[in-house]
Structure 1
Amino acid sequence: MDRAPFYSDVADGPEGGRAFWLRTTDGVRIRIGLWTPADAIKGTVLLFPGRTEYIEKYGRAAADFARRGYATLAVDWRGQGLSDRLLDDAMSGHVQLFDDYQNDVEAVVAALDALDLPRPLHLLGHSMGGCIGLRAAMNGLPVASCGFSGPMWGIHISTPMRPVAWSLSWGSRQMGLSHLYAPGTKSNTYVLAEPFESNKLTCDQDMYDYMITQAKAHPELTIGGPSLRWLHEALRETFDLSRQPSPDLPCLTLLGTEEDIVDIPRIRTRMAAWPDGRLEELEGGRHEVLMDTATMRKRAFDLLAAHYDTASNRLTGPASRKGAAAQGG
């Protein structure tokens, strides 16, 4: 693995953050970022970011996890961050097939042994990363537990507009126009275009300024709205996932009560049926509860760390050791 650029000047994460290039089986170059403080020995959080996001945005989250004993690995998905962009218009949030993101996941998994990260591994998927992460967990991602924040298991679209979104995004493919931006979106970076007062991400001015500072300092990390192709792929993937059973893993999902980007009923329906699942709704939280007020962030990271601790203990507890011994482990 070759070293990749890492912008510690805006990440505000633990000391020693670093990044590497990986190459996927279909030839796309993606970037991963690591924070592995010496005292983060409980395990590693595989942090799957949302659409438009990038590694440095989770520097403060990595610091929160480090204080609770966990290392963090984050990834720039294809088409965003410093990973390969997929269109001539580098600001478009585009993907050919939603399943292509699983190639990115496979590249991360293939690199795990060489990275020598603290074990066990735990998943944290935010927004689009929650959609990618759920599919990866269904496919056997080697984690001890799942955590999700505002997962994109459906997109918040009004009932009258849902058939329009389906037909327009499908039709654009037939006409060779699927590279165009989805209606109502453009190349602008959200945090540079949307005033804090009307933003859907966070109630915390400092955290919003943190995002703005990153976007201004390193605009090459940012993207704008999704392409029609991305929209159609996302609608297909979330619909297919809604018909699949949840993986046999303990799961904690965090959801802000003021969520207005992803489909809340899809989240509640899945978590109500997840055998070892728990849904925590954080009062007043918007889409990014990991980047909201200090009180909400503390609550969110305390819940996640306790969830990961419990899952790790199940792997190392007396019952687990007895089972391993019986199998010659």
Structure 2
Amino acid sequence: MTEAPFFHDLVPDRPEQGRTAWLRTADGIRLRAVAWPVDGARGTVFILHGRSEYIEKYAPLAAEFARAGLASVTIDWRGQGLSDRHPRQPMMGHVAGFTDYQADLQALAAHATDLKLPKPWHVFSHSMGGAIALRALLSGFPAKAAVFSAPMWGIAFAPGLRPVAWTLTHAAKPLRADQRFALSTGPTTYVATAPFAGNSLTRDETMFELMRRQVTTRPELALGGPSMGWLREALRECRALARSAPPDLPALTGLGLAERVVDPRPVHAVMARWQKGRLMLVPDAEHELVMERDRARRAFLDAALDRIAG
């Protein structure tokens, strides 16, 4: 196992200890991973972040967990960050199927086991990571509790575009689905070019500028839009997850009342069926709850820590 790079200059707050490594999945994909052990930790949190994200972005969250006595571990999903990317379109996010992400999580779990990161294990997931996490929990991933931040159990579309998305993605020829960007997307990273005013991620300008600085300072971390194939598989997975019976474990789901990236309706529907689950609606918040203004961020983080460590 060889050490992987970590860009310390991008991270204003991080745990004192951090161990980066290259992992290899069962299907041969190289992934970048980081573990933040804590002396005497009372458990480990698997941080499963969203599409187009990278491990440096979540170092401040790992620091929150470390201060609460919890170790944490995360990876760059295949197709993004410094993990293996699309061989011909490195700025395009693509997977053949969402089961590919389960192979990534299995590699991360094996890594956590090798490092002897302490149990119980918990899951904290955001956006696309929420879809990956729910699928893993339904398949028996050994977590004691789960926290979801704006989980992608549905994708938000402008009025009238949802049936168009289904038609276009399912009509796309398989050999072209990994070569074409999805609806109205391209190779440009959203946060690098979008103005702060009216952005769909956060109402905290300092956090927005930090995210922008990270991907402009280290453009190798940046990612553009997804492929048509990714969108097709994401729509299929969201539909299946929205119809599933929730697993039998405690869960907290946070959702900003100004959410515009994921579709809130499946989130409400899933959480209404989750017997040990709680849906937390966060006022004056967009998609990135742990990168929001202090009041919203702190409220959600305190609730997350209470669910995980309580």
TM (norm. structure 2) is: 0.96
Residue 266 of structure 1 pairs with residue 257 of structure 2: no
Identify the residue that residue 285 of structure 2 maps to in structure 1.
285
Letter in 1 for 2:293: T
| Matched position secondary structure for 1:196 | coil
Answer with 1 or 2: which has the greater Rg: 1
- Check whether the contact 1:173–1:229 (CA below 8 A) recurs between aligned residues: no
Residue 229 of structure 1 pairs with residue 218 of structure 2: no
Identify the residue that residue 14 of structure 1 maps to in structure 2.
15
Letter in 2 for 1:169: T
Q: Map residues 63-212 of structure 1 onto 2, 5 A cutoff.
A: 63-174=63-174, 176-212=176-212
Change (3 A) 1:163 1:113: same
1:212 Cα shift? 1.3
Task: Give the unaligned 5+ runs of structure 2.
Answer: none
Identify the residue that residue 320 of structure 1 maps to in structure 2.
none
Superposed CA RMSD in Å reads 1.3
1:119 Cα shift? 2.1
| Matched position secondary structure for 1:197 | coil
| Matched position secondary structure for 1:144 | strand
Identify the residue that residue 23 of structure 1 maps to in structure 2.
24
1:178 Cα shift? 3.9
Question: 2:67 and 2:20 mapped to 1: Cα distance?
Answer: 21
Residue 34 of structure 1 pairs with residue 35 of structure 2: yes
Question: 1:115 and 1:279 mapped to 2: Cα distance?
Answer: 33
Larger mean Cα displacement after TM superposition, 253-262 or 209-218: 209-218
Residue 61 of structure 1 pairs with residue 66 of structure 2: no
Question: 2:16 and 2:214 mapped to 1: Cα distance?
Answer: 18
Change (3 A) 1:210 1:104: same
Give a deviation string over 1:197-255, Cα, whole Å, max 9, x none.
Answer: 12111110111111112112211111001111100000011111122111111110011
Task: Give the unaligned 5+ runs of structure 1.
Answer: 311-329
Question: 2:230 and 2:174 mapped to 1: Cα distance?
Answer: 14
- Check whether the contact 1:215–1:221 (CA below 8 A) recurs between aligned residues: yes
Change (3 A) 1:27 1:284: same
Change (3 A) 1:14 1:97: same
Question: 2:231 and 2:87 mapped to 1: Cα distance?
Answer: 15
Give a deviation string over 1:44-91, Cα, whole Å, max 9, x none.
Answer: 110001000000000111112222222221111000011000231100
Question: 1:194 and 1:76 mapped to 2: Cα distance?
Answer: 23
Give a deviation string over 1:273-305, Cα, whole Å, max 9, x none.
Answer: 101000001101100111101122211111111
- Aligned residue pairs: how many? 309
TM (norm. structure 1) is: 0.91
